[in-house]
Copies of this chain bind each other. A is one copy, B any other.
Amino acid sequence: MNEIFTARGSVLIAGVTIDGSTVDIALDETGTIAAIGKDARKTIDADIVIDGSDRIAVPGLVNTHTHAAMSLLRGYADDMILQDWLSQKIWPLEAHLTGDDVYAGTRLACLEMIKSGTVAFNDMYFFMDRAAAAVDEMGMRATFAYGFIDLGMEEKREAEIKATETLIAHIKSLNNPRIQAAVGPHSVYTVSPEALSWCGDFAKEQNIGIHVHLSETEKEVVDCVAQFGKRPAVLLDEYGCLTPRTVAAHCCWLDEAECRLLGERGVTASHNPASNMKLAVNRAMPYHWLKQYGANIALGTDGCSSNNNLDLMEEMKFAALLQKFAWNSPTLLPANEALTMATAAGARALGTGPGTLTVGAPADIVLLDTRAVCNTPLFHADSNAVYACNGSAVMTVLCQGRILMHEREVPGEEEIVREAGDAALSLADRAEESS
């Protein structure tokens, strides 16, 4: 293995481009940005030097909504009506999922995210202790929520409460600053008011975040109003589930008042454009209202079975283009705002720092190739990053100063791909045998 992956200590990124200027970035031994500037190299005696020429530095990307291990289900079933897809394909497969599968799938997901510039993600799924083990090894940051679904059944609710408590205790016991826990009430249509109330209280008591699906489909809103006489965001708020540490995924069908409510509560809305388009949810997240009312607007890929990749560079383009198309405005969500969604807004959502390249910030840094065709010509780096490039323009990725990828090499890539491929085929075989 290239020794750059195993060396530890201070790091100098020498002569890299930021906002059109050539500077050095000096990182101290704790993985914090210690200095940025023309002569930052003079401030440290670096243990590791990365050549920044022909590279643009941007903050590490943050994926605020995914189900990482679903990378094992990539391409298993597509182009179906949601209910058929879930009941005939996804759920029967998931019924056979093991902790080993989640470990293999999360490692594959981490590899994919690292290779496309993502350093942190917000995950909701099962066997999350195994997912956390994968993230620990891969060197990324993640926040894990157990997907809490009680369907109004008291016995199931007790089991879900227990599973949530167990996961959060486990994550806290890891004592790994890169790995956090959140409470994960799945949605207002799968979680009872009693359980939502417990989730809100428990998140507050534990001082952790909440990860929830919100207003993905019109049916969710219509059913919620019919059952509870109020819209989903209002219901979540009533049970204490809208906080500055809540990430609400999708948010397609929010009305203006709900957007104002999310803004007032400081909630993060995670925009998932590719998934929303693929599943034909028939409305795009109202970015303009959420922006107007000061909500934190971030970006997510959703799981690999409804996207079908985890490339946030691509997702920025889908976000910027879907907003323009769906709300009929070519000036909506310009490139620089898309990049902010994928970086600073994501970091704020997960509490991983400012998500900017500034002194004192965690060294979560991505280096893009200026010689790539997608960066030629290089009139505006933000535009190229959002509209022209995809994850393949990412050359080097650092998380808390640790080098996770360099010159597109990630340690162990072949093994991770092979093991995940084998796990997926074995999972599908087991599901078919029992059907």
Contact = CB atoms under 8 A, between A and B. Distances in A.
A379 B274 contact: no
A38 interface: no
Contacts of A335: 78-79
Contact of A79 (B330, B371, B377): B330
Contacts of A428: 379
Given A78-B335, A330-B82, A373-B112, A390 B392 contact: yes
Number of copies: 2
A76 B388 CA distance: 12
Interface string A387-403: 11111100000000000
Nearest to A390: B390
Name, among A85, A304, A309, A388, the residue most crowded by chain B CB atoms within 10 Å (CB to CB): A388
> What is the predominant secondary structure among interface residues of chain A facing chain B?
helix
A278 interface: yes
A388 B79 CA distance: 14
Contacts of A72: 377
B75 A384 contact: yes
A321 B67 CA distance: 20
A324 B322 CA distance: 12
A417 B331 contact: no
B277 A378 contact: no
Given A311-B390, A325-B282, A387-B307, A75 B373 contact: no
Interface string A314-336: 10011011101110111110110
A72 B278 CA distance: 32
Interface in A346-399: 371, 373-374, 376-380, 383-384, 387-392
Interface stretch (A131-139, A170-178, A419-427): A419-427
Contacts of A276: 325
A431 to B, nearest CB: 12
Interface string A233-246: 00000000000000
A379 B115 contact: no
A309 B326 CA distance: 21
28 contacts: A74-B374, A74-B379, A74-B384, A75-B377, A75-B380, A75-B384, A76-B377, A76-B380, A79-B330, A81-B331, A111-B373, A274-B321, A277-B322, A278-B320, A278-B321, A279-B324, A280-B324, A307-B388, A308-B383, A308-B384, A318-B318, A371-B414, A376-B420, A377-B424, A379-B424, A390-B390, A390-B391, A391-B392
Contacts of A7: none
A80 interface: yes
Interface string A78-120: 1111100100000000000000000000001001100100000
Contacts of A377: 72, 74-76, 420-421, 424-425
